[in-house]
Structure 1
Amino acid sequence: MFDFETAYLAMASRDARFDGRFVVAVTSTRVYCRPSCPSRTPKPENTRFFGLPAAAESAGFRACRRCRPDAAPASPEWNVRGDLAARALRLIAGGAVDDEGVAGLARRLAVSERHLHRQLVAEVGAGPQALAIHRRARTARLLIESSGLPLADVAFAAGYASVRQFNEGVRAAFGCPPGDLRRGRTAAVLDAGGVLELRLPYRAPLAAGAMLDLLAADALPGVEEVTGRTYRRALGAGEVVVAFPDPPDSPAATLRLSLDDLRDVTAAVQRCRELFDLDADPETIDAALGPLARARPGLRVPGCADGFEMAVRAILGRERSAELAAREGGIPGAAALRTHSDATVRALARAVNDGSLPLDRGADREATIAALRALPGITPWSVSIIAMRVLGDPDAFPGDDPRLLRAARRLGIAGDKKALLGYAERWRPWRSYATMHLWAESE
């Protein structure tokens, strides 16, 4: 979080670069806004700053209807950090509190509920339950404004236990009943196939074409497909299609979801945000990478739809993974691969199946990387890829990848592996992004 003077200056100058990094709460109106909100600048004595919208809501403020601060991309700080608070925020965003309760979240993080609550309040100004409530309200608004779903269906899809709780939650967060959020809007209705269309905002710039080219080169036949600027893949029993308009009329991708259970909407949206790294801060990253980022400003590090699937693919490689997917109709789950012929996959599956090796954005990165390195036969390259795409580590660097060295030579950066590893130190803590740029250069 920024000091008061810096935050106030950013807000007074309507600097959109700070949107999502903090929100501005006005005590005289009890409304909180984006820093870039065009509303009249409040007096300093009437201004408070919060790191997250949920913290402002916990303090009794509601979201501005004009600038919609709750719809901004999430703060990139929490994706970069690997500490307890950051891990908790990523798990809450993925629905951990709705699925397992605060007690289950605390168990996954190996801390007490009290310690978790205290840590989150100290770091972001809101406890896990308040953060989960904000998540439900944000999802509800997305579905109210972007779909023609009946409001009762929206309530349960967003994770509310009842319509009454839904009405109260939306009113508390946005200062009006759910119907008012939809009034006057032209909403897309679920088509005959049950497809729901939503928008995924991001921070510009975004090198969508280069990112999709890299995903296409690694696509698993029968599971995912890249056509032009559109990505399609199976997700559970449904399907997701993400399109990046060229040129975009606004910094947002279009998401089309086909799901059997609408209660999976929030988790699917979060997975897609992680899959395309939509909460990243490209200006900060590109500035740190310097000349390397000039050809493809805003290039992101793709995540994955399923952590175990991605780990198996990193171990087996594209050809063997494709053979497995063709034979099984996709990459099977951990329970099914405990007896796989490859010893490393077998060890991975057993560790994931017994719960000793979590493979998601909420995992302890250092502990998980150490556990991966202990698997028999796993390569440093595979560990780096898993760290980068499964754990969301922004600083992973598969220095033994020949494509990186080939690109480094072409760019005049380094002539051998040792020199490349030394040069890459200047890219910390964004070496995962440097990897993407080097891979794109090597194609």
Structure 2
Amino acid sequence: MYDFETSYRAMSSRDGRFDGRFVVAVTSTHVYCRPSCPSRTPRRENCRFFRVPAAAEAAGFRACRRCRPDAEPDSAEWNVRGDLVARALRLIGGGAVDREGVTGLARRLVVSERHLHRQLVAEVGAGPQALAINRRARVARMLVESSTLPLAEIAFAAGYSSVRQFNEGMRTAFGQPPSALRRSRPADAPGDLDVRLRYRAPLPVGPLLDRLAAHAVPGVEAVDADRYHRTLRLPRGSGVMTAEFGPAQTGDAGSARAASRGEVTVRLSLADLRDVTAAVQRCREILDLDCDPAAIGAELGTDPLIGPLVRARPGLRVPGCGDGFELTVRALVGRRTSILVTRFGTALRTPDPRLTHLFPTPAALADADLVAAGLAPRRAATVRALAGAVDAGDIVLDRGADRAECVAALRAVSGIGPWTTAYVAMRALGDPDVFPPGDPGLRDAARRLGLPAGLAARARHWRPWRSYAAVHLWTSL
């Protein structure tokens, strides 16, 4: 957290680069704002600064109705870090407390509830329950404003245990009842839910969709001119997402800047509405919507080798994945993944004929005859060993995993090499500081830029954003 003077100067200058890094609470109005809020600068003695909105709400402040700090993407700092606090925040963001309680969250992180609470309060100023309440309110407001669902359904979908708790929670967080936040809008398609997800501009969508298309699993994913579609296996059921950027956003850097409002529309079709929090978090991870282009540009933009690429395409994203196990299997078997989907996946009926299946579960592949599906015996053994370890819980392939432990566990599986583990760490674990060793595309891009050797050594200067440097190099090809 910045000291008081730095925070106050950032707020006084209305510097948007600090949005998401902290919020300012004003004791005279009991409102908290973004640093860039256009309202009149409050007096020093009336200001308190909090690292996350949940801490401001726990202290008795509500979100500003003018600058909407609750809608700002989360700080990219938590994606850089892989420690206990960062992992806990990522899991809470995906709805872990709503599904498993604080006890389940602590068990997942292999710490006591008391230690977890102490670490979170010391770092961000709010415990796991307060953070979960804040996340619940943010999801509920998003549903109230962007869908036509009845308010009672929204209450339970967002994780509230009763309508009364929902009404009280929304009044506390936003100073208004849910009905006052509802905007008139066209009705959703039956069974569908449209949500608007914020990101920090710019976002060059063309390269993002190109990379997703290059690695799409047939039957599970599909990409067209300005949309990304995929099926999702969620904690309580299945789902289908469609992210729509619109023609104005699908060009390169120039048209990315035109999309200055920083929103992408995502249509969700969920078997269980209580999965909405997990689905939204999965969408944000796939599209890397919590990325901070300004911070990355400041670090990489001045480098003599990669700086011109960063300045030419500011805001390039590192695409995540819908399922870490799926991504790892795809990295191991390549084009034969579609055969595994057809044989061992769960068939779905969706409006899009290209989306036919959920990816097979680890249990389905652990004992499957993969040689009969066309895999070489050694590769089949690797996939079965991986599936068995994931099914048993020995390997966890999501953003809440301990990155170092996960990479070590993957390397212990016969047939999984350094390139695969780096690729999984980059896209499934969300590590922004990975540089895949020996990748031929990266070497080729470096040679074209005039660096014939020593790429790994040069990449050390790009920390902690080596994953983004790799994407810039790949895109330059």
- Normalised TM-score (structure 2): 0.89
The one-letter code of the counterpart of 1:284 is A
SS in 1 for 2:312: coil
Distance in structure 2 (CA, Å) of the matches to 1:420 and 1:321: 31
For residues 208-287 of structure 1, what are the structure 2 equivalents within 5 Å?
A: 208-236=205-233, 237-245=238-246, 246-247=248-249, 248=259, 250-287=261-298
Say if 1:34 and 1:68, in contact at 8 Å, map to a contact too.
yes
Deviations 1:397-422 (A, max 9, x none): 1121111111111111x224xx1111
Name the counterpart of 1:320: 336
Moved more, 218-227 or 45-54: 218-227
Answer yes or no: is 1:334 the counterpart of 2:362. Answer: yes
Say if 1:97 and 1:104, in contact at 8 Å, map to a contact too.
yes
The one-letter code of the counterpart of 1:62 is R
Say if 2:202 and 2:260, in contact at 8 Å, map to a contact too.
no
Deviations 1:380-405 (A, max 9, x none): 11101110011111111112111111
Q: Give 1:249 deviation, angstroms.
A: 5.4
Say if 1:189 and 1:196, in contact at 8 Å, map to a contact too.
no
Q: Give 1:187 deviation, angstroms.
A: 2.9
Say if 2:344 and 2:364, in contact at 8 Å, map to a contact too.
no
Say if 2:318 and 2:467, in contact at 8 Å, map to a contact too.
yes
Say if 1:188 and 1:197, in contact at 8 Å, map to a contact too.
no
Deviations 1:146-200 (A, max 9, x none): 1111111110111100001101111111112111112xx22342223x1211111
- Normalised TM-score (structure 1): 0.96
Q: Where does structure 2 lack aligned partners over 5 or more consecutive residues?
A: 250-258, 302-306, 346-356, 371-379
SS in 1 for 2:268: strand
Distance in structure 2 (CA, Å) of the matches to 1:357 and 1:321: 20
Answer yes or no: is 1:191 the counterpart of 2:189. Answer: yes
Runs in 1 of length 4+ with deviation above 6 angstroms?
none
Name the counterpart of 2:106: 106
1:364 corresponds, among 394, 402, 409, to 402
Distance in structure 1 (CA, Å) of the matches to 2:193 and 2:435: 37
Name the counterpart of 2:439: 401
Say if 2:201 and 2:260, in contact at 8 Å, map to a contact too.
no
1:373 corresponds, among 411, 429, 449, to 411
Residues 188 and 140 (structure 1), Cα distance of their counterparts in 2 relative to 1, 3 Å cut: farther
Q: Paired residues, what number?
A: 435
Q: Give 1:287 deviation, angstroms.
A: 2.4
Q: Where does structure 1 lack aligned partners over 5 or more consecutive residues?
A: none
Distance in structure 1 (CA, Å) of the matches to 2:320 and 2:211: 12
SS in 1 for 2:388: helix
Name the counterpart of 1:92: 92
Residues 327 and 263 (structure 1), Cα distance of their counterparts in 2 relative to 1, 3 Å cut: same
Deviations 1:267-307 (A, max 9, x none): 11110001111111111112222213122210011111111
Deviations 1:68-91 (A, max 9, x none): 110001111111110100000000
Q: Give 1:339 deviation, angstroms.
A: 2.3
Name the counterpart of 1:159: 159
Distance in structure 1 (CA, Å) of the matches to 2:169 and 2:210: 41
Answer yes or no: is 1:431 the counterpart of 2:438. Answer: no
Deviations 1:300-359 (A, max 9, x none): 111111111111112222x12123223334531111111244122111111111111111
Residues 188 and 55 (structure 1), Cα distance of their counterparts in 2 relative to 1, 3 Å cut: farther
Over the matched positions of the two proteins, sequence identity in percent amounts to: 67
Name the Cα RMSD after superposition.
1.2
